[in-house]
Structure 1
Amino acid sequence: MRRTLGVAMLTGIVVASAAATGATAAPADATTGYIVVLRADADSSSVAAEHARANGAAVGHVYGHALRGYSARMSATAAERVSRDSRVLFVQPDGVATTTAQSMPTGINRADAELSTTAKINGTDERVDVDVAVIDTGVDLDHPDLNVYTAGAKNCSTGRSADDGNGHGTHVAGTIGALDNSTGVVGVAPGARIWPVRVLSNSGSGSFSDIICGIDFVTANADMIEVANMSLGGSGSDSACGSNRDAMHEAICKSVAAGVTYVVAAGNSSADSSTFVPAAYDEVITVSALADFNGLPGGGAAATCRADVDDTLADFSNYGADVDLIAPGVCIESTWKGAGYNTISGTSMASPHVAGGAALYTANNPSASPSTVKSALQSAGTTDWNNSDDPDGSKEKLLNVATF
């Protein structure tokens, strides 16, 4: 059972479905959200329109890149009829996602980003030539410390634009690529072009179908986007690509195959990440959180914004065999909505450090596959941290980008 974490302290996303939570099913004649995944040779738009006419479905998103399919509201009876169509691979209930929250920032220092010849952190605004999608609550489109690519903004959620009314997505974006301009903060890959892909509302809530819409958009632009960060997750488990069990996983499989490196948060439940998605997926880079209060190895630093032990696995962080890297995720200062700055904690804050590292690597190796990027990050990582409190006993590599 996921333990509740204070909204002001820990930031992440919880994704749940009726099946996962034990919620009571809606009456058969009530409309419910569904995700319909079609066979690869089906035309999403025409099939969705046909199903809408025949079954009274109210179509939402239509997917044509990461998936063939669509989302819609319809009755359970209609969903059953749709599932029998030979063009349909599977139909699943939509899920709900909600946030569970929570200079050179300490995390940038601990990752040795200032030593990277690609990052070139010296107070001069020289921007890393790379494109990173932030699949989140949106990004502050006018933040003076970010290089937001507004032409690449996508709103799959509520509201009128991809502008951030929550703060979470803007914080993630700053850790990835805040400008090296002598003001505010600096990111791991300063000046990286940020594509704001909004899949969550101002309150930090959204649906599986909205998240897939974001992945679909990224996949459609895979010729330009090298890295995508997803600081979100929820109950679920891994499955093989092509098993037709999990629409979000199938979408990520296709997106990774198109060349996009996905970096995701391990989760904030002090649990094995094998029970959370997308953290459990093999195709992504899953990141746990290190408690680091001074940006230096060795431990012993006093706690700052929250109680924890310096240089150890954060007390809220998920762990396990699905974790690929660990990165700073406690008391991380970064950009915030309204052209501001904020200090918060969570594996949501650890993930964008690694996304920034992936951005640095791909800036110099533009043809590298996502698996190559993952291997390069793991090879460059160090074991210079204390894992004495890590329940899985494994010492994952700590992000280090000094050689990138």
Structure 2
Amino acid sequence: MLKTLLTVLFAGAVAAASTPAASATAEPARDYIVVLRDGAEPTSVANEQARLHSAALGRVYSHALRGYSARMTPGAAAAVAQDSRVLFVQPDGEVHIDAQTLPTGINRADAELSTTAKINGADERVDVDVAVIDTGIDLDHPDLNVYTAGAKNCSTGNSADDGNGHGTHVAGTIGALDNATGVVGMAPGARVWPVRVLNNAGSGSFSSIICGIDYVTAHAAQIEVANMSLGGLGTDDGNCGNTNNDAMHRAICASVAAGVTYAVAAGNETDNAANHVPAAYDEVITVSALADFNGSPGGGAASTCRSDVDDTLADFSNFGPDVDIIAPGVCILSSWKGGGYNTISGTSMATPHVTGGAALYKATHPSAGPAAVKSALQAAGTTDWNAAGDPDGIKEKLLNVAGF
């Protein structure tokens, strides 16, 4: 099956300094993200500006970011950018899931050796909350502990239920129940919060993702870890998006400052992760994918659901200095929509292994901040994999949670 990775056209922001005159002919409306300065009240400003500029108001952000999304003409966007309460206006963009349709991962990460995970078939549950910012989660999947009271839909429709399967797969790798049926996750029984930012086709926008980050930030006192197996084109300005006007980066920095640890996919383009966001952001844990077909080190195992070389960097995985850790991401069996199971591959599948590892650590180190969680995961990792084909020449630590 064709690999699908988020494709984002990261256009420049509308600069307040340049305000072209309104065209005499009707301009086609498009979607924008308006980021407000600190001190501006998002709801009132959004309503006022939408009314003044005939904009169709989308979502209002008030926790990770002050601002809103709206559909308006380019001329209206330029006018909004001149408002003294506006920091910048950014054209919205599209994103898609980081997975290729085509479960050894739990074994390879030694989750079955973790005294916190307690994988023994007794359905003991790890007391931790994890947000899955994705296509939603199958709300009544029998193998998942879905926290339906925490469900949020930032995408199309009226529900956070998963019509694609991707988010349910991610949730299963993080926390599928240890109930002797189906599959088991890294942090069995973790409460998974469905935060739906992508539609049934696996597509979404920066504005919908920011809506998800905003929601997670509003519940940062409850949510310890968030998984983002998605991304788009973009770069890290090293300044939380304040230099290159990147609203999503600004939102993630605020959410991390609120105490939420983010694990994100490196991407599937065989490219430098520095060219993709949120993978490029320093504040997150960026995860590349290992091809592992038998859950054991040493290499030599025959490929299964797709062709690749056992115990090496997956041939689709992005790479580079922005990658913080590597985890199994090829031929991963996990839960699926409709109460089922499926085997797929991608950095999307590697990421929830790390998210689950972070959840295990947070369950026993509740006061640890995101930077400490990242350091702990890297310190516990091994180098027991073959990096000969890794284009960046950097041998990242391989996730291992045996000591967690």
Instruction: Kindly state the Cα deviation for residue 243 of structure 1 after the two structures are TM-superposed.
Output: 1.7
Provide the rounded CA distance (Å) in 2 between the counterparts of 1:356 and 1:28: 50
Change (3 A) 1:134 1:12: farther
Look up the SS of the partner of 1:338 in the other structure. helix
Please list, as runs of the form range in 1=range in 2, the aligned pairs for 1:4-83 lying within 5 A after superposition.
6-7=1-2, 10=3, 12-17=5-10, 29-83=27-81
* Aligned residue among 133, 140, 143 for 1:142: 140
Provide the rounded CA distance (Å) in 1 between the counterparts of 2:104 and 2:30: 45
Provide the rounded CA distance (Å) in 2 between the counterparts of 1:18 and 1:236: 9
Query: Between Structure 1 and Structure 2, how many residues are aligned?
Result: 390
Aligned partner of 1:126 in structure 2 is: 124
Please list, as runs of the form range in 1=range in 2, the aligned pairs for 1:226-305 lying within 5 A after superposition.
226-239=224-237, 240-241=239-240, 243-244=242-243, 245-305=245-305
Residue deviations 1:48-75 (CA, integer Å, cap 9, x gap) = 0110111111110000000000000111
TM-score (norm 1): 0.95
- Confirm or deny: 8 A CA contact 1:14 1:100 kept in the other structure: no
Aligned partner of 1:23 in structure 2 is: none
Change (3 A) 1:101 1:379: closer
Look up the SS of the partner of 1:194 in the other structure. strand
- Confirm or deny: 8 A CA contact 1:12 1:100 kept in the other structure: yes
- Confirm or deny: 8 A CA contact 2:6 2:98 kept in the other structure: yes
Residue deviations 1:312-342 (CA, integer Å, cap 9, x gap) = 0000000000000000000000000000000
Instruction: Kindly state the Cα deviation for residue 268 of structure 1 after the two structures are TM-superposed.
Output: 0.2
Letter in 2 for 1:286: T
Look up the SS of the partner of 2:327 in the other structure. strand
Instruction: Kindly state the Cα deviation for residue 101 of structure 1 after the two structures are TM-superposed.
Output: 4.0
Letter in 2 for 1:298: G
Change (3 A) 1:346 1:11: farther
- Confirm or deny: 8 A CA contact 1:11 1:344 kept in the other structure: no
Letter in 2 for 1:16: L
Residue deviations 1:6-45 (CA, integer Å, cap 9, x gap) = 43xx45433334569xxxxx98721110000001100000
Provide the rounded CA distance (Å) in 1 between the counterparts of 2:351 and 2:261: 12
- Confirm or deny: 8 A CA contact 1:171 1:336 kept in the other structure: yes
* Aligned residue among 76, 83, 86 for 2:84: 86
Aligned partner of 1:306 in structure 2 is: 306
Q: Specify every segment of 5 or more residues in structure 1 that has no aligned partner in the other structure, as ranges.
A: 1-5, 21-25
Look up the SS of the partner of 1:37 in the other structure. strand
Runs (4 or more) in structure 1 with deviation over 2 Å come to 10-20, 98-101
- Confirm or deny: 8 A CA contact 1:14 1:232 kept in the other structure: no
- Confirm or deny: 8 A CA contact 2:262 2:285 kept in the other structure: yes
Backbone CA RMSD of aligned residues: 1.4
Provide the rounded CA distance (Å) in 1 between the counterparts of 2:277 and 2:132: 17
Letter in 1 for 2:40: A
Provide the rounded CA distance (Å) in 2 between the counterparts of 1:178 and 1:307: 27
Letter in 2 for 1:251: A
Q: Specify every segment of 5 or more residues in structure 2 that has no aligned partner in the other structure, as ranges.
A: 14-22
Residue deviations 1:374-403 (CA, integer Å, cap 9, x gap) = 000000000000000000011000000000
Provide the rounded CA distance (Å) in 2 between the counterparts of 1:303 and 1:259: 40
Q: Does 1:113 align with 2:106?
A: no
Letter in 2 for 1:385: W
- Confirm or deny: 8 A CA contact 1:37 1:88 kept in the other structure: yes
Letter in 2 for 1:225: I
Instruction: Kindly state the Cα deviation for residue 242 of structure 1 after the two structures are TM-superposed.
Output: 5.8
Provide the rounded CA distance (Å) in 2 between the counterparts of 1:16 and 1:266: 17
Look up the SS of the partner of 1:323 in the other structure. coil
Change (3 A) 1:186 1:192: same
Residue deviations 1:342-368 (CA, integer Å, cap 9, x gap) = 000000000000000000000001110
Aligned partner of 1:162 in structure 2 is: 160
Aligned partner of 1:3 in structure 2 is: none
Calculate percent identity across the aligned residue pairs. 76
Q: Does 1:329 align with 2:322?
A: no
Instruction: Kindly state the Cα deviation for residue 96 of structure 1 after the two structures are TM-superposed.
Output: 1.0
Please list, as runs of the form range in 1=range in 2, the aligned pairs for 1:184-199 lying within 5 A after superposition.
184-199=182-197
Look up the SS of the partner of 1:372 in the other structure. helix
Letter in 2 for 1:55: H
Change (3 A) 1:247 1:19: closer
- Confirm or deny: 8 A CA contact 1:291 1:310 kept in the other structure: yes
Provide the rounded CA distance (Å) in 2 between the counterparts of 1:28 and 1:19: 22
Provide the rounded CA distance (Å) in 1 between the counterparts of 2:59 and 2:26: 23
Look up the SS of the partner of 1:201 in the other structure. coil
Change (3 A) 1:114 1:165: same
Provide the rounded CA distance (Å) in 2 between the counterparts of 1:112 and 1:99: 27
